[in-house]
Amino acid sequence: MKSHVRVAVIGGGVVGCSVLFHLAKAGWTDIALIERLELTSGSSWHAAGGFHTLNGDPNVAKLQSYTVQLYKEIEEISGQSCGLHITGGMMLAGTPERMDFLKLAHAKGRYLGMETEIIDAAEAKRRLPLLDERHFLGAMYDPLEGHLDPSGTTHAYAKAARSFGAEIYRQTRVVELNTRPDGGWDVVTDKGTIRADHVVNAGGLWAREVGRMVGIELPVLAMEHHYIVTEDMPEVVEANAATGKELIHVIDFEGEVYLRQEGKGILLGCYERHGVPWAPDSTSWDFGPELLAEDLDRIGPSLEVSFKHFPAMAKAGIKRVVNGPFTFTPDGNPLVGPVRGLKNYWAACGVMAGFSQGGGVGLALANWMIEGDPGFDVWGMDVSRYGDWATPAYTNAKVRENYSRRFRIRFPNEELPAARPLRTVPIHGGLEAENAVFGASYGLEYPLWFALKGTPAEETVTYRRSNAFPVVAAECRAVRAGVGLMETSSYGRYEVAGPEAEAFLESLLANRLPALGRLALAPMLNAKGKLIGDFTVGRIAPDRFFIVGSGPAEAYHLRWFERQRGGRNLTIRPMTADLAGLAIAGPKARELLARLVRDDLSTAAFPFLSIRRMAVGMVPALVSRISFTGEQGYELWCAPDSQRALYQTIRDAGCDLGLVLFGSHTLLSLRLEKGFGIWAREYRPIYGPEEAQLKRFVRLDKGEFVGREAAKAERGEGGERRLVPFEVDARDADAFGDEPIWHGGQVVGWVTSGGYGHTVGKSLALGYVPKGLAAAASGFEIEIIGERRDARILAAPPYDPSGSRMRG
Ligand SMILES: Cc1cc2nc3c(=O)[nH]c(=O)nc-3n(C[C@H](O)[C@H](O)[C@H](O)COP(=O)(O)OP(=O)(O)OC[C@H]3O[C@@H](n4cnc5c(N)ncnc54)[C@H](O)[C@@H]3O)c2cc1C
């Protein structure tokens, strides 16, 4: 065992071995993996070994597709077989909604270059003779599905890593992690201490414990999971003889089971509704490569459905039952990346589908460690998408929900109920009394829309327009004609202050900082010139800045701020607990606010993009003149203990102006009419500012800032794509994001946001197309639930393109 390594990867499951392989392949030397027993001693050894590329997040799907394509390479490098069976696979739909879901997944796959196919039930039967087609409407076929040998694959990664010089220390348990003054770690094991510059938590079933060694609580929890393996089945043998092939993989959403051929029988696994967490508080170090007690009653209902859907299964004898634990996160995606607040401590855990995702996780993490950037859009699996609010009890409720819904449809407008409400704003009860329909973002409840009095505060879940449609239309009309009030505490907010605050922010943000009392819109770029944030920055004192950005990206942004600050003399403070927000918008917004403040609100005295402290009624508030609706708008930030008073004051004063409450559904419609983008939809780390049409906020002439050189190069060559607004000839369903954009019979781009523009009476979408096509107004189609609808690029935002309404 070495006394000093550059990286210590803790955990020899498929994920740790993949991280080690990718680091070694990229040329990092002095790297070691530490495994408490033998490789695969966690959840990896008893996995069913299935792999597929489908994922709700297209960027994660892309990494899954990379994983599947990597297996041949590691077999060649290591000489170790992964036991690959690329059989292809089908996802079966038994309901029209599920068929819609598959059409959407298929459409998403198109722009990722995935070759899936939608087939009818008769064709599904032809491809898998075992199924009874009367239960199905059709299926999506994916040629890139199959199964492998979990142990062989893990060892193939390990051997390939060794061939590049990496070391593996087996039978060695990490018992403590201590920070060193030089920024590295003392990795204390039961065989002695190793000094490591970086540590990677790939602890799988023990990831929580390896997190607790450094004082963090990672939101991961293991669930028990069953699969059965049948005796040999004559039907399988016959089907093999008839087709000359192994049976293909199947996911049967209605039965909530997956199945595949194993020998001459079938392996069938269940995601039952009432899943059971395993080791909910902590995982014993004594747990070895063991299986859990089987509980066939628990999976009985799933088995019964599968006996109907695949009648031969009802007659088959069961040879083996496997019940084993593996970890989930609250949203089912992995936890990857640097952990905020800890130097050189990296997460690679919570990987629920190690054999679909392990390769992508290893590649992204290795890139991140080596180049400071994952090289892909890994927002969907970034460890920073959770904050301290994701406690073990939250994780427990969400993971159980996630497990039980693994094969259920998630509608685009569906808000899942578990672990809610968790974080609420002070006026939550007031909003509830107004019939708000809530969503949750970063654990916080926020209003989506306000159902009519006397009707249930519920949105029907659908791929098409929901019951919210006419109500949101009315909210939009009221804001455009009068004034609306919105709760905005779901936005992220920070204060950066101190003698070096200005110099720091100048180096961090791409725009010039505003003068005292003014606001500026400022993108934040990484070193590759890609967008990692878009903020409104206000200077509230010469050396004090108030910054507003995306709420769900709070930990993501704080992690970046803290890494970039160096030793500068300043403070960076998240203001989430210190300030609550409200916004008013509409042509009567100024008239309303003027009734409550002594300040002169005229455009001359308090123009667009101003910020100032004011007393609003009795409440001291920080008021910004800013608009995300395209109307006159003000954001008001106050101490949480005064939010109720501020809310009531505004409501009382706005009564005779027709003040309405509105939520984020309305904001989506209004922002689409203005062509305004948001973080995680239009702005993500795969786009440059030129591509995202944010060029005017990037001041190449202002001096050094992170990403300047890359942004300069992008400006020179123009990037590859352009964000453009579309008008879509939709019917009863609008785009909502991730739909493919067609031109000339080819998929050329994708939608980032979509919805209905109630003021302009058009279905609208924002999306990226190749820059050469951005000037081609017509000839586009956007695929909405399997139908290609005509779409046109709009030369300007459809509502108030000059911006005179919000500036005036
Ligand atoms: C029944 C079942 C069926 C499954 N089917 C599939 C499937 O079909 N397809 C699929 O993709 N996935 C499947 N999975 C999930 C898959 O097994 C996991 O996604 C995968 O194993 C996760 O790998 P890992 O490396 O993150 O964790 P693990 O395999 O748990 O590895 C973690 C390793 O870290 C070691 N370790 C932890 N702490 C320390 C320490 N302090 N010091 C040293 N070593 C330490 C452990 O000993 C362990 O070997 C299944 C799981 C189960 C249980």
Q: In the prediction, which pLDDT does 52 show?
A: 86
Give the nearest ligand 1 atom to 324 CA: 53
Residue-wise pLDDT for 185-213, tens only, equals 999 999 999 999 999 999 999 999 999 99
Q: At 230, phi and psi to the nearest 5?
A: -90, 165
Number of CB atoms found within 10 A of residue 23's CB = 27
Distance 734 CA to ligand 1 centre (A): 40
Measured in Å, residue 42 CA sits from the centre of ligand 1 at 5
Residue entry with tokens 């290893």? 362
CA 476 to chain centre: 28
| Ligand 1 touching residue 146 (CB < 6 A) | no
- Amino acid identity of 137? L
Work out the angle at residue 632's Cα, subtended by the Cα atoms of residues 627 and 634, and round it to the nearest 5 degrees.
60
CB atoms within 10 A of CB 572: 19
- Separation of alpha carbons 344 and 342, rounded Å: 6
Residues of the chain with pLDDT under 70: none
d(CA 150, CA 78): 15
Q: How far is CA 157 from CA 33, 354, 360, in A?
A: 12, 12, 13
52 lines ligand 1 (CB under 6 A): no
Residue 259 in contact with ligand 1 by CB distance below 6 A: no
What spacing in Å lies between the alpha carbon of 84 and ligand 1's midpoint?
19
Tell me how far apart the alpha carbons of residues 763 and 728 are, in angstroms, rounded to a whole number: 5
pLDDT at residue 104, rounded to an integer: 86
Q: Are the CB atoms for 437 and 449 separated by under 8 Å?
A: yes
What is residue 63's predicted lDDT score, i.e. its pLDDT?
86
In short, whether 203's Cβ falls inside 6 Å of ligand 1 is yes
Return phi, psi of residue 162, to 5°.
Answer: -60, -40
Ligand 1: which of 44, 188, 327 to mutate, judged by most atoms within 8 Å of the beta carbon? 44
Decide whether any atom of ligand 1 lies within 6 Å of the 387 Cβ.
no
pLDDT of residue 58: 76
Q: Are 522 and 537 in contact (CB under 8 A)?
A: yes
Pick the residue whose CA is nearest to atom 25 on ligand 1.
13
SS3 584: strand
Can you tell me which atom of ligand 1 is nearest the CA of 42? Answer: 30
Longest dimension (CA), the chain: 86
If you take atom 10 of ligand 1, which residue's CA is the nearest one? Answer: 353
Please tell me the predicted confidence (pLDDT) of residue 35. Answer: 98
Task: Decide whether any atom of ligand 1 lies within 6 Å of the 675 Cβ.
Answer: no
Residue 43 alpha carbon to ligand 1 centre in Å: 3
Ligand 1 atom closest to Cα of residue 349: 26
Which pLDDT score is estimated for 84? 96
pLDDT at 407: 85
- Integer Cα distance of 391 and 397 in angstroms: 10
For ligand 1, say whether the CB of 227 is within 6 Å of any of its atoms: yes
Q: Is 397 helix (H, G, I), strand (E, B) or coil?
A: helix
Q: Which residue has the tokens 């722009």?
A: 111
Per-residue confidence (pLDDT) for residue 394, from 0 to 100: 98
CB of 204 shorter than 6 A to ligand 1: yes
Query: Cβ contacts of residue 215 below 8 Å, gap of 6+?
Result: none
Tokens read off for 645:
């008073």
| Residue ID of nearest Cα to ligand 1 atom 50 | 47
**Which atom of ligand 1 lies nearest, measured to the CA of 147?**
8
User: Does the CB atom of residue 41 touch ligand 1 within 6 A?
Assistant: yes
Residue ID of nearest Cα to ligand 1 atom 52 = 47
pTM attached to this predicted model: 0.96
Q: Cα(273)–Cα(623) distance, rounded to whole angstroms?
A: 48
Q: Is 90 in the pocket of ligand 1 (CB under 6 A)?
A: no
Mutate to test the pocket of ligand 1, among 20, 326, 333, 351 (most ligand atoms within 8 A of CB): 326
Q: With a 6 A CB cut-off, is 89 part of the ligand 1 pocket?
A: no
